[in-house]
Amino acid sequence: MFKYILKRLLMSVFILLGVSMIIYFLIRLMPVDFIQDKINAINQGGATVSQETVDAMYKMYGLGDNSFLGILGGYFSWLGALVKFDLGTSFVYGIPVADVIFEHMGISFLIALVATVFEFLIAIPLGITAATHQYSFRDYLVTVLVMIGISLPSFFFGQMLKDVLALKLGWFPASGLIDATASYTGVQLLGDYLRHCFIPILTIVILSIGARMRMTRTNMLEVMNSDYIRTARAKGLKERVVVNKHAFRNTLIPMVTSLAGLLPSLFSGAIITEQVFDLPGIGNIALDAMNRGDIPFIMGYNMFLALLSVVGVLLADLMYGIVDPRVKLE
């Protein structure tokens, strides 16, 4: 086990190096230019920026040379700072990238965590009941509802819930994270957070349970037709025991595979949903940084997600041995 983990960690270093190089070159080739946008803003204010000032600004931000060797040199300069655990300073916010990420990551993580818990609590039982009652009215009803949820774009469905529950009925706030006009503390402040996060969480849950439910249903149907399930029934075991103990446990391996992407999804933020509800989450901040050409933040954010993806895949591989003792990690 130790040798396997060590080998995977060494492989992960090379994977992250390759990912970082690809991301850096793609970002440097973006049509968005942070310095040019600043110059345009100054010019619109009536001032004139000399070429010497423009060149100095590009040099100050490390963007003076856009040739291949210049971009390569910029990459190794960024990589050297990364080795020292320095993600650089955000162009837009003027503070360390790590501070920006950790400042806005909390709300995205909490929303994603709560939504994921409800997703599993709803999708797995629906998948099991659809598989154990195949071709019944229950199966068709669940499948139709799930397909409707999968087909709806998040910006459309989120806006629809926002219009109905917030604007028309007035049950929940339409946007933001807190009520700026009130000064809540303690339990009242927590309740205000929950009221603002209810519709975004509901949007994510409804739109995400479809894929999980279909995976559970498909895996359960495959297992339910196995010989050992028929043998368990022939022994006189209760159907509840057959389904929950014997059938469902053997569907966990494909589900563990899907969990590899769960870790980065908890921290990446729901970009579109956060845009619809104007939440100050990391997804909303990352989209704004991309539109404004904030290279250090985009690099730090993507490398953070790449690291979580590698860790998620490693944890999923380790969980195989826990779910199924027959799996040997070598």
How many CB atoms lie under 10 A from the CB of residue 150? 15
Whether 61 maps to a domain, the answer reads no
Cα distances from 221 to residues 225, 235, 312, in angstroms, run 7, 20, 27
Model's pTM, two decimal places? 0.78
Whether 244 maps to a domain, the answer reads yes
CATH number at residue 279: 1.10.3720.10
Strands (E), the chain: none
Whether 1 maps to a domain, the answer reads no
pLDDT tens by residue, 271-321: 788 888 888 888 888 888 888 878 888 888 888 888 888 888 887 777 766
Whether 238 maps to a domain, the answer reads yes
Q: Over 60: is that where the pLDDT of 329 sits?
A: no
Q: Which range among 65-69, 111-115, 209-213, 269-273 shows the weakest confidence by mean pLDDT?
A: 65-69
Whether 51 maps to a domain, the answer reads no
Distance of alpha carbon 304 from alpha carbon 104, whole angstroms: 14
Tokens standing for 221?
């149907």
Cα distances from 36 to residues 31, 41, 63, 212, 238, in angstroms, run 11, 9, 11, 45, 70
Domain count, the chain: 1
**Domain hosting residue 120, numbered range:** 107-292
Distance of alpha carbon 273 from alpha carbon 157, whole angstroms: 10
Whether 20 maps to a domain, the answer reads no
